[in-house]
Chains A and B, each alone.
Chain A
C-alpha cells in the first residue's frame, strides 16, 4: 500500500553516481538486493544493497541502545590485588585520566567509546524510526547527515581489543573478574559492525526522498556535476549555490585544499610520532617500585610474558599502523604531486586501507584508560598515564584527519584519467 505523500519516482530510477575513489561517473538504477555496485576503474564500492537494510538496521540499533546502556552502567571489570577489590565501569578509566590531568585523553576516550557510539545509535533509531512514522519528526536529514560524519569516531570495536590487552597486562599481578558490561561490550561490538555492514545510507536518503523530507534531485543533470560528500548525490552545480539539492550540505568538486591540508596534518603527525614513542605511555607503580613503559617496551613485555598473539596485535596496531598511515599518506601525496600513473588502482586501495585502519591504533590508548581506571590501589599498585600517551593519541587522531582530508580522486586527476 502506498503512503499518501509518496511521490512518483523520476525517470526509470536511474541516477548518476560518482566513484569516491577515482571520480569516475556512472548512471544506473538500484541494483538487486544483496548485491553491490563497484567501480570498474578503482574497485571502490559505489552502492551497497543489503537486503531489508532499513528495518534490519533499525532492529540492530534498538538492540544496540539496550546494550550500550548495560555496558555503561553495569560493572565492567573487578580486579583483586593483594586482597583489595577494585571495580570499574566503562567510565572509571576516563575519570582516572581526568584526575591525572590528561583531560584531553579522557575527552577523547569518552567521546570515542561512549558519546559517539551512543549518538550514532540514537541518531540511527531517530532517523530510521522517524522515517516510518506517519508524521516524521523534524530534522531527520540534518541528523542523518551528521551521523555520516560521526561514523569513524565510534570505536567500540577497537575498545574491546584494548580491553583484551589490559586484561592480559593485569593478569600479572591481579585476579580479574569480568563483569556483565564486558560481555555487553562484546555484543555491542558485533552489533556495531553488523549495523555498518547492513546500513546503506543511499537507501535511507531515498526513503527520506519518498517521504518528502528531502527534495528529489532534479531529473536531468547537466555538467558540471558535483558529488555531495555527505549524501553522495551527484547533481549539477547550480549557479551561485554550492548546497546539495538533497541534503543541503556544501559541495566541492574535490575536497577543499586537500593536498595542503593533508601535508600539514601528516607533517604534524611525523613530529608527534617521536615523543609518542620516546616518552613513557604509562607508569606502573607497584609497592613503591615503578617502571615507565613506552609503547615499544609494552609490546616487549607482552612478548616476554608469552602473550605473543597480543604482542603482535599491539605491535601491529601501535607501531605498524601509525607508520603505515604516515608513510602511506606521504607516498600518496608525493605520487599525486608527480602526476604518476603508476598503479593507480592499488594506490586507491592503499588509501582505503589507510583510511579504515587508523582506528586500530587506539588500542593502546584504550588499554591505558582501562588500566588507569582499574589500578588505583594506592601504594599497592598504581598505573598512571604518561606524556607519551597524549602524543600518541594525537598522532592517531591527526593521521585520521589527514586521511579524511586527502582526496584520492586527485590522484586520478593528476594522472589525467578524469579528463
Chain B
C-alpha cells in the first residue's frame, strides 16, 4: 500500500497553518497498563503475605470429633487463636478421627513432640466446672506448647485436658501409698485447707509394691515441701471412735466429694532443705498417722497386766498425765503352764519426742536410767477406762507413791514397766463420794427451780412445736429436691453407678432422720417432763 510511508504524503494543505508531519513511533508501553500492573503487584503481595502468615499444617488424632467443625473450630493457646481446623476425616479403619488444622506462623516453633492438644468442651464434675464458655462460643482445641522434643506435625490429641499445663510454674512430687483409695487425676492437694496443687496421676504398674501418685504443687507453695514433709490422704471423712473419743477429720468439702491429698511440714522439719523435684514421700492414711509418723524416735516397753484387758485395742493411746505419749502396739495372751497363771503382756510404744526432758544430768542421758528413777518414785502403768459408753481402755502412766516397790525388769526384747491393777475400789469410792455430794444438794430448792424451769420449757416447746412443722416440711422438700438431683445425676452418672447408690443411701438416711425427729417432736409434745426426768419406763 502506498500509505505505508506517511511522510511522503504529509504536505501542507491549509495555507493558514503549517502542516508538519506527525511523529511516527513504534507502539511501546501504553500507560493504560499501569492499572493491571498495580493490580498484579498487589495480588502478588497479598498472596505473599497470606502465605507468609500461614504456618504449618498439622494433623491431630482424636477418638471423637464431637463438637469439632471444619472451618470453624479454632486452635487456641490461652485464648489466642493459633490455627483453625480445616478438615475432619476418619482414618480408613474408622478407629480414629484425624483433624487437619492450618496453624499460624506463630505456633510453628512450639509444635514439638510433647505438644499437647485437647478439645475444650463443657465438663461437669462434682468439684469442677470447666469449659462453660464453650456453650456459647463452641468447642475449641487448646494447645499446650511443647518444651522439648523434635519438631513434628502429627499429634495425638488428649481425650481429657491435662491436669497441669507445661507452662504452669510449680514442682511435681511422687507420693506412694499401699491403697490408692479415692485418689484420681485432678484431685486437689491441700495445705491447711487451701488447694495448692493437683494430683496428676495415680498409677500402679504392677512391678512396684505401692501405688505411685504423682502430684503437682503450684509455684509459691512448692517451697513448703521440705524433706520430712508428711502427706496424708484427705479423701473423705475420717471418723475414729477410740479411747480418746470421737475424732472427725475433714480437709474440705471438695476433698470429701472427690478425694485429695494434704500435707504439712512438722515443726522439727521446718528448717530442712526444700525437697527436690520428683522426690518420693510416703502417703499416710490420715493426718493422725502422718503426725505420728513424724515422731521417729520411739521406744518400746512391755507392760504385763494380770486382769482382763477387755476393751483394749491395738492403737489405743498411752497417756501420761493426761497427754497422749504413745500407743499400744501389740498384746497377746500368755498362759504360763508352770505357774498356772494367765498374763497379758502388752507392748507399748512411746514417742520420746513427746517428753520434753529437762535438767537431766548429761551423764545419765540413757533412757533406762531415767525410767528406773521414775519407777522408783512410783511410776506405774495402769489400764483405765476412757469411756463408759464404748468401754474402751487405754494405758495410763501415772505415779502411785503408795504402790508396792517394783523395778524396771530388763526383759527381752523390751524393758518391762511395772503395773498396778485396775482398781475397782477406786471407782466405788468415787461413786460413794458422788452420792454424798448429791445428798448434800439442796433438793427442795432444786425442785422448785425445776418447777419454774418446766413452765418455761413448756412455753419453749410450744414455740418449738410451731416451728417443727415448717422444719419437717423443709426437710421433706430437701429430700425431694435431692431425689430430683439424684434422678438428673442418674442421667449423667448412670443408674447403677457407685455415686448414685451412695447418694441414694444418704437420702434414705436423711429420711430416717426426718422421721426420728418427727417422732421425737411428738413425744416431747406429749411428755415435756421427759426433758428433765428422762424417758419414762414402759409399763
User: Do B32 and A175 touch (CB < 8 A)?
Assistant: no
Among B22, B33, B35, B42, which residue has its beta carbon within 8 angstroms of that of A37? B22
Q: Look across to chain B and name the residue whose beta carbon is closest to the beta carbon of A196.
A: B32
Among A27, A35, A186, A193, which residue has its beta carbon within 8 angstroms of that of B10? A27
Q: Look across to chain B and name the residue whose beta carbon is closest to the beta carbon of A19.
A: B22
Q: A31 to B21: give the CA distance in the assembly, Å.
A: 11
Q: A88 to B8: give the CA distance in the assembly, Å.
A: 59
Which of A1-34 touch B at CB < 8 Å? Answer: 12-14, 16-17, 24-32, 34
Chain B nearest CB from A20 CB (Å) reads 13
User: Do B9 and A48 touch (CB < 8 A)?
Assistant: no
Chain B nearest CB from A227 CB (Å) reads 13
User: Do B14 and A26 touch (CB < 8 A)?
Assistant: no
Given contacts A160-B39, A193-B32, A193-B36, contact A30 B20 (CB under 8 A): no
Among A16, A47, A190, which residue has its beta carbon within 8 angstroms of that of B13? A16
Determine whether B339 belongs to the interface, using a CB cutoff of 8 Å to chain A. no
User: Do B43 and A29 touch (CB < 8 A)?
Assistant: no
Question: How many pairs of residues, A versus B, come closer than 8 Å at their CB atoms?
Answer: 128
Residue numbers in B under 8 Å from A29 (CB-CB): 2-3, 6, 9
Determine whether A36 belongs to the interface, using a CB cutoff of 8 Å to chain B. yes
Q: A190 to B37: give the CA distance in the assembly, Å.
A: 9
Determine whether A249 belongs to the interface, using a CB cutoff of 8 Å to chain B. no
User: Do B11 and A32 touch (CB < 8 A)?
Assistant: no
Determine whether B72 belongs to the interface, using a CB cutoff of 8 Å to chain A. yes
Residue numbers in A under 8 Å from B11 (CB-CB): 14, 27
Q: A365 to B31: give the CA distance in the assembly, Å.
A: 23
User: Do B3 and A13 touch (CB < 8 A)?
Assistant: yes
Q: Look across to chain B and name the residue whose beta carbon is closest to the beta carbon of A200.
A: B27
Residue in B30, B36, B43 with the greatest tally of chain A CB atoms within 10 Å: B36
User: Do B46 and A168 touch (CB < 8 A)?
Assistant: yes
Residue numbers in B under 8 Å from A313 (CB-CB): 38, 42
Chain B nearest CB from A152 CB (Å) reads 11
Determine whether A128 belongs to the interface, using a CB cutoff of 8 Å to chain B. no
Q: A195 to B53: give the CA distance in the assembly, Å.
A: 37
Chain B nearest CB from A21 CB (Å) reads 12
Among A28, A83, A197, A307, which residue has its beta carbon within 8 angstroms of that of B22? A28
User: Do A12 and B9 touch (CB < 8 A)?
Assistant: yes
Q: A303 to B27: give the CA distance in the assembly, Å.
A: 38
Among A12, A17, A39, A189, which residue has its beta carbon within 8 angstroms of that of B23? A39
Residue numbers in B under 8 Å from A32 (CB-CB): 4, 24
The 0/1 profile, CB within 8 Å of B marked 1, for residues 354-386 of chain A is 001000100000000000000000000000000
Chain A nearest CB from B2 CB (Å) reads 6
Residue numbers in B under 8 Å from A309 (CB-CB): 41-42, 45
User: Do A83 and B42 touch (CB < 8 A)?
Assistant: no
User: Do A197 and B33 touch (CB < 8 A)?
Assistant: yes
Q: A36 to B25: give the CA distance in the assembly, Å.
A: 5
Chain A nearest CB from B13 CB (Å) reads 5
Residue numbers in B under 8 Å from A39 (CB-CB): 22-23
User: Do B13 and A35 touch (CB < 8 A)?
Assistant: no
Given contacts A13-B1, A164-B43, A310-B42, contact A35 B26 (CB under 8 A): yes
The 0/1 profile, CB within 8 Å of B marked 1, for residues 208-233 of chain A is 00000000000001010100000000
Q: A14 to B11: give the CA distance in the assembly, Å.
A: 9
Chain B contributes a number of interface residues (CB within 8 A of A) equal to 42
Q: A161 to B41: give the CA distance in the assembly, Å.
A: 10
Q: A392 to B353: give the CA distance in the assembly, Å.
A: 91
Chain A nearest CB from B315 CB (Å) reads 63
Which of A169-198 touch B at CB < 8 Å? Answer: 175, 186, 189-190, 193, 196-197
Among B7, B12, B20, B33, which residue has its beta carbon within 8 angstroms of that of A193? B33
Determine whether A158 belongs to the interface, using a CB cutoff of 8 Å to chain B. yes
User: Do A31 and B24 touch (CB < 8 A)?
Assistant: yes
Given contacts A167-B46, A313-B42, contact A50 B72 (CB under 8 A): no
Determine whether B407 belongs to the interface, using a CB cutoff of 8 Å to chain A. no
Chain A nearest CB from B173 CB (Å) reads 43
Q: Look across to chain A and name the residue whose beta carbon is closest to the beta carbon of B19.
A: A27
Determine whether B164 belongs to the interface, using a CB cutoff of 8 Å to chain A. no
Chain B nearest CB from A76 CB (Å) reads 15
Q: A221 to B313: give the CA distance in the assembly, Å.
A: 139
User: Do A36 and B43 touch (CB < 8 A)?
Assistant: no
Determine whether A40 belongs to the interface, using a CB cutoff of 8 Å to chain B. yes
Residue numbers in A under 8 Å from B38 (CB-CB): 161, 313
Determine whether A49 belongs to the interface, using a CB cutoff of 8 Å to chain B. yes
Determine whether B364 belongs to the interface, using a CB cutoff of 8 Å to chain A. no
Chain B nearest CB from A361 CB (Å) reads 13
User: Do A186 and B43 touch (CB < 8 A)?
Assistant: yes
Q: A12 to B8: give the CA distance in the assembly, Å.
A: 10
Given contacts A27-B11, A28-B6, A189-B36, contact A40 B42 (CB under 8 A): no
Q: Look across to chain B and name the residue whose beta carbon is closest to the beta carbon of A352.
A: B31
Residue numbers in B under 8 Å from A161 (CB-CB): 35, 38-39, 42
User: Do B35 and A158 touch (CB < 8 A)?
Assistant: yes
Residue numbers in B under 8 Å from A164 (CB-CB): 39, 42-43, 46
Residue numbers in B under 8 Å from A132 (CB-CB): none
Determine whether A80 belongs to the interface, using a CB cutoff of 8 Å to chain B. yes
Chain A nearest CB from B27 CB (Å) reads 5
Q: A26 to B21: give the CA distance in the assembly, Å.
A: 6
Residue in B14, B16, B35 with the greatest tally of chain A CB atoms within 10 Å: B35
Determine whether A293 belongs to the interface, using a CB cutoff of 8 Å to chain B. no
Chain B nearest CB from A153 CB (Å) reads 15
Among B16, B17, B36, B49, which residue has its beta carbon within 8 angstroms of that of A157? B36
Q: A190 to B14: give the CA distance in the assembly, Å.
A: 42
Q: Pull 7 A–B residue pairs with CB atoms less than 8 Å apart, ordered by A.
A: A26-B20, A26-B21, A32-B4, A35-B25, A164-B42, A193-B35, A310-B45
Binding site for A on B (CB under 8 A): 1-4, 6-7, 9-14, 16-17, 19-27, 30-33, 35-36, 38-39, 41-43, 45-46, 49, 69, 71-72, 84, 138
Given contacts A34-B26, A197-B32, 7 further A-B contacts (CB under 8 A): A28-B21, A29-B2, A30-B1, A39-B22, A157-B36, A223-B14, A360-B35
